[in-house]
Amino acid sequence: MNIKKIIICDAIHKKGFELLEKEDDIEVIDAVSLSKDELLNIIGEADIAITRSPTAIDSKFLKAATNLKAIVRAGVGVDNVDLEGCSKRGIIAMNVPTANTIAAVEMTMAHMLSCARSFVNANNNLKIQRVWKREKWYGVELSDKKLGVIGFGNIGSRVSTRAQAFGMDVIAYDPYIEPSKVTDLGMTYTENFDDILACDFITIHTPKNKETTGIISFDEIEKMKDGTRLINCARGSLYDEKALYQGIKSGKIAFAGIDVFSYEPATDHPLLDLENICVTPHLGANTHESQEKIATQAAECALNAARGITYSNALNLPIKAEELPKAIVPYLELTQKISYFCAQINKSQIKSIKIKAEGDISKYAPSLLTFSLVGALKDSVGDKINYVNANYVAQEKNIETTFEEIPKASGYHNKITITLTTNKGVTFIGGTVFDGVEQRIVSINGFGFDFKPKGKMIVFKNKDIPGVIASIATILSKNNINIADFRLGRGKNDNAMAVILVDEAIDKKLLNELNSLNACLWVAYAIL
């Protein structure tokens, strides 16, 4: 068994460790308690690294990481990751962008309410100073106030719906979305940033880049109405902090709620000296629920990367998933998984790979083909195959590649079918995605199925005669193999096919035993 080493550089929830440690083909290196110098001494052993904010993925780290194939940033921000350096060394960098969404949304709402009612000041006045002075802490209501939302993605859109429930009038600014995403929710979309500056409350939910750094500075604050309230639970430096300080001190900004700073820890920041501001030490993602989600999703990303199955949320691929419509990304991953599945159950020299893309995804067939090649060539080429060289490797191996685009799908809104031809024969597997996220395999060689492409699977083709299922179960039970799921597809010519999800690894001896059954036409084993 080819053991892959995953190093955990920074503290994550125990569920992430548990998920990795139960896998037979994974060795976990716990480097959480090591100094950064000690980490550099052992990072060269690792195939995959899981990191958080404390570990800088800089030139020193990358130079020492001689065997590293991928990095998973357990969280959203990648400010501490040298993406260009990773790309030059062929290291795929990934993050976990959605695990802390609800935590960040609720933190924003907490700051918004604090901006409206001065909860922190009132609490301190009573609890610490023991002063009962109600008239000092008159606030404002959220109801009927205008909320300007900068960035209408996963977090900004959810903040908006919650604010709407408080009776706020939401105006959203995001030049990278369809206006209907906002207007369909009964909110106002604007292309004029001055409309945001005219709002009573303003909150920002964008990544930090050249365009967004300092998006609100002296000039923007000058345009605001007196008494505006600002919230930033996204990234430090999105608001110019010198301008913010001046605006709060002058009273132009009535109150601010800030969870993030340009430089952290911000224990000696001038903003802390002001009374009309609520500050928290970058707690946006810090809930028990979000930390567990971050850890488990990061661990799953690391497992898939270690096995070369897929690279979820990759940030430095030549095909930039973030630039594609959100609905297409799961099909890229599914295509790679299905192709890897094909190659495992049809092990031989690959002669051709064909993609049939039906529905709206048909226009992305060339991108799907690249992901298909990476999946199909993983076993034969190993770690040398990646998204950059996949097409070149296919040419060198004389693998014929084609794709078919069918704008109107039959039976499904979107569907992909991978046909893999080898010296042994032809395998064709179809899949789709339900509800935008649920990946499914729906057919294998013409047999209908519906199962997730995940786990340890036995694929068993047989004559459709009585007793087959019982015979398979008997052999697996005798070998202490637990059946997690059993899916059966029946076809023409009195044949059937089963996909059996099992909890334990299957060796060649057991496959030979299954193959010896009189009803068996062929059997294969695959891991996804």
For this structure, is 264 an active site residue? yes
Which residue of the set 282, 307, 333, 358 is catalytic?
A: 282
Residue 229 contacts residue 253 (beta carbons within 8 Å): yes
What average pLDDT does range 456-480 have in this prediction?
94
Q: What is the pLDDT of residues 277-289, one digit of tens each?
A: 999 999 998 899 9
Place of tokens 């979000």: 290
Residue holding tokens 């084993």? Answer: 525
pLDDT at 321: 53
Tell me which DSSP letter residue 321 carries: G
Question: What DSSP state is assigned to residue 256?
Answer: E
440 catalytic residue (yes or no):
no
Give the pLDDT of residue 327: 79
Query: Per-residue confidence at 320, pLDDT binned at 50, 70, 90?
Result: low
Sign of CA dihedral 80, 84, 86, 91: positive
Q: What digits encode the pLDDT tens for the residues 40-56?
A: 999 999 999 999 988 99
- Which tokens is 24 given? 């037979």
Structural tokens at position 228: 């505006």
DSSP character at residue 203: E
Is 2 strand, coil or helix?
A: coil
Full set of structural domains in the chain with CATH: 1-98+287-316 (3.40.50.720), 101-279 (3.40.50.720)
Rounded CA-CA distance 350/347 in Å is 8
Whole-angstrom CA distances from 224 to 126, 150, 235, 269 are 32, 15, 21, 24
* 106 Cβ contact list (under 8 Å, min separation 6): 287
> What's the mean pLDDT in 273-277?
94
pLDDT in tens, 190-220: 999 999 999 999 999 988 877 789 999 999 9
284, 256 in Cβ contact below 8 A? Answer: no
Nearest partner of 526 among 310, 346, 308, judged by Cα: 346
The catalytic position among 220, 235, 307, 333 is: 235
> Which residues does 87 contact at the CB level (< 8 Å), separation at least 6?
316
Q: Edge-to-edge strands of the sheet including 350-359?
A: 400-406, 350-359, 414-422, 426-434, 438-444, 447-451
Whole-Å CA distances, 185 to 87, 152, 179, 351, 435? 39, 12, 10, 50, 19
Based on C-alpha coordinates, what's the Rg of the chain?
27
Catalytic status, residue 141: no
Give the active site residue among 264, 396, 400, 404.
264
Average pLDDT over residues 111-139: 92
- What is the mean predicted confidence (pLDDT) over 362-370? 89
**How far, in whole angstroms, is CA 354 from its chain's centroid?**
27
Could you tell me what percentage of the chain is helix, strand and coil, using 3-state DSSP and rounding each to the nearest 5?
Answer: 35, 25, 40
Check residues 78 and 475 and name the one with the higher pLDDT. 475
Rounded Cα–Cα distance for residues 162 and 109 (Å): 8
Q: Is the pLDDT of residue 339 over 90?
A: yes
Q: What's at 299, amino acid-wise?
A: A
For the chain, give the mean pLDDT.
91
pLDDT at 382 over 70: no
Q: What angle do CA 456, 462, 467 make, to 5 degrees?
A: 95
**Beta strands 456-463 and 495-502: pairing type?**
antiparallel
**Residue type at 50?**
I
| pTM of the full structure | 0.62
pLDDT of the residue at 517: 95
Give, in degrees to the nearest 5, the angle at Cα 40 between 39 and 42: 70
**pLDDT score of 319:** 60
